[in-house]
Amino acid sequence: MPVPIGSGPNRRQFLQRAAILAAAAPTLGAFLAACSKPAGTQGSAPSLTIAKPDSPVKWPIADDNKAIGDNLPPEKGATLKIYNYADYLSPQAIKGFEDQYGVKVEVSTFNDGDEAITKLRSGVDFDIYNANYTEISRLVTGNLVRPLNHSYIPNITNVWPTFTNPWYDQGWQYTVPYTIYTTGMGWRTDQVPADIGKLSNPYAALWDPAYKDKTAIIDDFHTAMAMVLLKQGITDINTSSEADLKMVGEQLSALVKATSPKVTITMYSDMPAGQIGLSQMWSGDIINAQSYLPEGVGPEILRYWFPQDGKGLVDNDMLVTLKGGKNPVLAHLFLNHMLDPAVAKENFSAIGYQPPQNSITPDSLVAEAFIPENLRSAIVKPEYFETGYRTLELDADNDAAWHNVWNAFNAGGS
């Protein structure tokens, strides 16, 4: 087809039209502004209440966000939507719930809490979210979570007493505990002959060039940077000290130079596959790693270190019901389901993360040979929660300072 030459705009016409378009652009902005919700950021900025073990918080319950009534029937033929980490909920536990109530359960996944909160804010209709206590203030302040009606969750009596009135949610108004874990060091004896746990500073092994291209650290700014602080002997792992953060930044640069670690949360499969020999690791991941080992490689090559005096990173995740969910009754019932001792134990064996159940004690795990001898250090003991260090929610400015260090590290190296 012949293109009509000369019938299109010439350069001057083009420039004129472009100018008109450019001049009209701000009206587009006004148009978009009219469409969007009022930002409401102009007034005084609400500050976050931050829960700490030594200053427990009882969260307010908003008038427009009351718990559901007693004795409501579960929603019929519904799809219960769960928002969770990948590989962090046993398929069998889901199946059992589906069969019991004749409903469907749909699990969507996220990679880290930051990503999850951003998505929750965009107004999704998930019923249940697997939260960390470092998010609870934002979840409550932002009116994203729904308060619990305790009458649906009798199984709460099965969990460790400290979790029925936790410091991050006094009176468990919004949360039930899900898993507990420590953050230490994991390694494979066939790739790392040294006994990392016997070193004077096991964290420092990650900086040892002998393990170049064999290491990994956890892809979570707070968990990874807290490890650097602990390695340097600083136990305030929520520090707002500029000097400390600068030091962490320098240490992370040195880390890239020394061993160029992978930054990932898939060590539970990468270590069994042999890509990683030494890694900062969650206790649940080293237990989980056993089931990813290739044929012919036994679990005896896996090792885990966490300071046995409990002076390390201890954590717990929890389940919350979301205000945007369409199935609040089912959501309560699911929380109760996961606190059932048999379900919790099956879930533990599927995902490797220990639930704080009264029926599961360090002694029982050893006695039943649930955890092999070489991984006993990955068992979480109740007393760790008295001596361990907890990553806390950071206030906005401090959070930004931490993230800037972390992003510079992720961009880094030569």
Partner 1 sequence: MLKARPRERPNRLWPVLAAPGVGWLLLFFLAPLYVVLAIVFGQRDPVFRTAVPVWNPLQWDPTQFTYVLTRIGPDGVYFPALVRTVVYVAAASILCLCIAFPVAYYVSRLAGRHKGLLIALLIAPFWISYMMRMLAWVNLLQNDGLFNWMLSFGGLFDPNVDWLTGQPVVVVLGLAYGYVPYMILPLYAGLDRLSQSMLEASRDLGANRVSSFVRVTLPMCRPTIMAAVLLTCLPMLGDYFTNDLLSASPKTAMVGNLINDSVQAPGQTGQAGAFVMLVLIATVVPMIYYVRVTLRGDEVRT
Under rule CB under 8 A, how many of the chain's residues touch partner 1? 58
Question: Does position 87 bind partner 1 by CB under 8 A?
Answer: no
Distance of CA 267 to the CA centre of its chain: 15
Phi-psi domain of 87 (left: phi exceeds 0; alpha: psi -120 through 50; beta: other): left
Phi, psi angles (nearest 5°) of residue 43: -65, -160
Q: How would you class 102 by CB atoms within 10 Å of its CB: exposed for 0-12, middle for 13-18, buried for 19 or more? A: exposed
Cα 252 to Cα 413: distance, rounded to the nearest angstrom: 9
Query: Which residues make beta-bridge pairs with 278?
Result: 187, 215
As beta bridge partners, residue 108 has 83
In 3D space, the residue among 237, 311, 299, 228 whose CA is nearest the CA of residue 268 turns out to be 299
Tell me whether strands 128-132 and 313-322 are parallel, antiparallel or unpaired. Answer: antiparallel
**Looking at this protein, which amino acid is placed at residue 237?**
I
Cβ nearer to partner 1, comparing 173 with 264? 264
Q: How far is the CB of 265 from partner 1 (least distance, A)?
A: 10
- Note whether 65 binds partner 1 by CB under 8 A: no
Among 225, 276, 320, 365, binds partner 1 (CB under 8 A): 276
Q: Which amino acid is at 267?
A: M
Q: Mask of contacts with partner 1, 34-53, x by CB under 8 A?
A: --x--x-x---xx-x-----
* Cβ at position 336, least distance to partner 1 in Å: 30
Give me the 381-400 binding string for partner 1, x by CB under 8 A, dash otherwise.
---------------x--xx
Give whichever of 5 and 243 is closer to partner 1, judged by the CB atom: 5
Among 20, 29, 193, 363, binds partner 1 (CB under 8 A): 29
By the rule CB under 8 A, 115 interacts with partner 1? yes
* Closest by CA position to 377, among listed 168, 121, 154, 197: 197
The reply on whether position 117 binds partner 1 by CB under 8 A is yes
Pairing of strands 278-282, 302-305: unpaired
User: For partner 1, which stretch binds (CB under 8 A), given 33-41, 159-167, 301-309, 332-340?
Assistant: 33-41
Residues 180-239 contacting partner 1, CB under 8 A = 213-216, 221
Nearer to partner 1, 25 or 367 (CB): 25
Q: Which is nearer to partner 1, 152 or 211 (CB)?
A: 211
Q: Which residues contact 266 (CB under 8 A, 6 or more apart)?
A: none
Q: Can residue 5 be called a binding residue for partner 1 (CB under 8 A)?
A: yes
Q: For residue 150, state whether it binds partner 1 (rule: CB under 8 A).
A: no
Q: For partner 1, what does the binding mask look like between residues 293 and 332, x meaning CB under 8 A?
A: -x--------------------------------------
**Cβ nearer to partner 1, comparing 63 with 295:** 295
Q: Quote the least distance from Cβ 111 to partner 1, whole Å.
A: 8
Instruction: Give whichever of 112 and 340 is closer to partner 1, judged by the CB atom.
Output: 112
Is 20 a binder of partner 1 (CB under 8 A)?
A: no
> SS3 breakdown of the chain: % helix, strand, coil, rounded to 5?
45, 15, 40
Contacts of residue 83, Cβ cutoff 8 Å, sequence gap at least 6: 107, 108, 109, 110, 116, 119, 120, 124, 126, 128, 129, 130, 322
Nearest CA to 88 out of 288, 273, 270, 276 is that of 288
Binder among 262, 292, 301, 307 for partner 1 (CB under 8 A): 262
Task: Give the residue, chosen from 56, 96, 142, 372, that forms a contact with partner 1 under the rule CB under 8 A.
Answer: 142
51 class by beta-carbon count within 10 Å (0-12 exposed, 13-18 middle, 19+ buried)? buried
Q: Does 83 bind partner 1 (CB under 8 A)?
A: no
What are the structure tokens assigned to 17, written together? 């039209």
| Residue from 25, 243, 367, 369 binding partner 1 (CB under 8 A) | 25
Question: For binding to partner 1 (CB under 8 A), which residues are involved?
Answer: 3-8, 25-26, 28-30, 32-33, 36, 39, 41, 45-46, 48, 111-112, 114-115, 117-118, 121, 138, 141-142, 213-216, 221, 256, 260-264, 273-276, 294, 396, 399-400, 403, 406-414
